[in-house]
Amino acid sequence: MEAPHKVVQKSIAHFDMEQIANSGQCFRIRSVASDVWEVPAFGRRLVVRRTSEWAWEFDCNECEFQEIWSNYFDLQTDYGAVKNAITSSGDEYLRNAVRYGWGIRILRQDPWEMTVSFIISQQNNIPRIRSTIARLCEPFGGAFPSPAELAGYTEANFVALGLGYRAKYVVDVVRAVLDGRLDFHKLTAMGTPDAIATLRQFNGIGVKVASCIALFGLHKIDAFPVDVWIKKIIDERYGGTFPLDHFAGYAGIVQQYMYFYQRALEKRMVPVR
């Protein structure tokens, strides 16, 4: 007899799926209904439902939740303490950013997927990134393809999927993983500056993309990617220099609050302050 389907119900502070899905760190989480999200990761698909402001239902059993999803959603990190540290700095802009993006967490995603995703992301917009990655995954049942599964792809194959000039960079990084030049286990063991410097040795990976891979793929939360949004904030609100030393050890979390809040300001989703 087939085992009955089970769900896990959790009350989680500092956690909001909608904010996480729209924070620029992931490109395959999607909203499938009101307060319902589908989360594809590690060859699985998790359905997450909001049942109240703080309560969530996860479409898995408790064992799977503890073995996979608790870590994936970074539930071991005390985001309340991080928020308190940020807001105690007295920075009004960051205080508003933390308040607005209260439910963001840095996901612990697959570094291979993040490497390809952020190569695709350069000089690109989020809807196009999402659609390109969806086309890349389609022949593999919607799962993100491994380096071995992409070994036979040529630059022309990737161009046909919409990667444009980025196609040659993905071909190079597939080969680098397969021949051992790009080793994610070694990158994980490195300090953040060394990991970023190592990633930058590969074609198509500049400092911003390397920093995104470090933050979102290697979970080095002291990495601080600077894209056009963050540069605008730094230039307009901080006179061109952001005080990173004030947020040592968790600057990447600060970056996510800034990114999420600034995009909302630009879209007039919150009052301009």
CATH (domain of 51) = 3.30.310.260
Give the pLDDT confidence score for residue 164 in this predicted structure: 96
Query: How far apart, in whole angstroms, are the C-alpha atoms of residue 148 and residue 97?
Result: 41
Among 81, 100, 119, identify where a domain stops: 100
Using CB atoms within 10 Å of the CB of residue 139, give its burial: 0 to 12 exposed, 13 to 18 middle, 19+ buried. Answer: exposed
From the candidates 6, 208, 232, 267, which is the catalytic residue?
208
- Six-digit token string for 169: 């960079």
Q: Which one, of 23, 26, 41, lies nearest residue 263 by Cα?
A: 23
pLDDT digits (tens, 9 = 90+) for 178-235: 999 999 999 999 999 999 999 999 999 999 999 999 999 999 999 999 999 999 999 9
Residues 94 and 149 in one domain: no
Residues 52 and 120 in one domain: no
Would 176 be classed as within a structural domain?
yes
Q: In Å, what is the CA distance from 227 to each residue of 122, 168, 197? A: 9, 22, 18
Give the pLDDT confidence score for residue 136 in this predicted structure: 98
Give the pLDDT confidence score for residue 271 in this predicted structure: 53
Note down the domain range covering 65.
8-100
Q: Which one, of 21, 26, 81, 16, lies nearest residue 54 by Cα?
A: 16
Q: Which of the residues in the chain have pLDDT under 70?
A: 1-5, 269-273
Would 234 be classed as within a structural domain?
no
DSSP code for 61: -
Three-state helix/strand/coil letters over 86-133: HHCCCCHHHHHHHHHCCCCCCCCCCHHHHHHHHHHHCCCCHHHHHHHH
- The answer to whether 232 is a known catalytic residue is no
Look up residue 36 and give its amino acid: V
Residues 207 and 142 in one domain: yes
Query: How far apart, in whole angstroms, are the C-alpha atoms of residue 210 and residue 201?
Result: 10
Contact yes or no for 129/27 (Cβ under 8 A): yes
Would 253 be classed as within a structural domain?
no
pLDDT digits (tens, 9 = 90+) for 155-168: 999 999 999 999 99
Number of folded domains that form the chain:
2
Residues 53 and 126 in one domain: no
Pairing of strands 30-33, 55-58: unpaired
Would 254 be classed as within a structural domain?
no
Would 223 be classed as within a structural domain?
no
Q: In Å, what is the CA distance from 166 to each residue of 58, 162, 178, 206? A: 36, 9, 19, 13
**C-beta atoms surrounding 125 within 10 Å:** 8
Residues 125 and 186 in one domain: yes
Query: How far apart, in whole angstroms, are the C-alpha atoms of residue 118 and residue 122?
Result: 7
Residues 129 and 96 in one domain: no
Give the pLDDT confidence score for residue 1 in this predicted structure: 38
Would 255 be classed as within a structural domain?
no
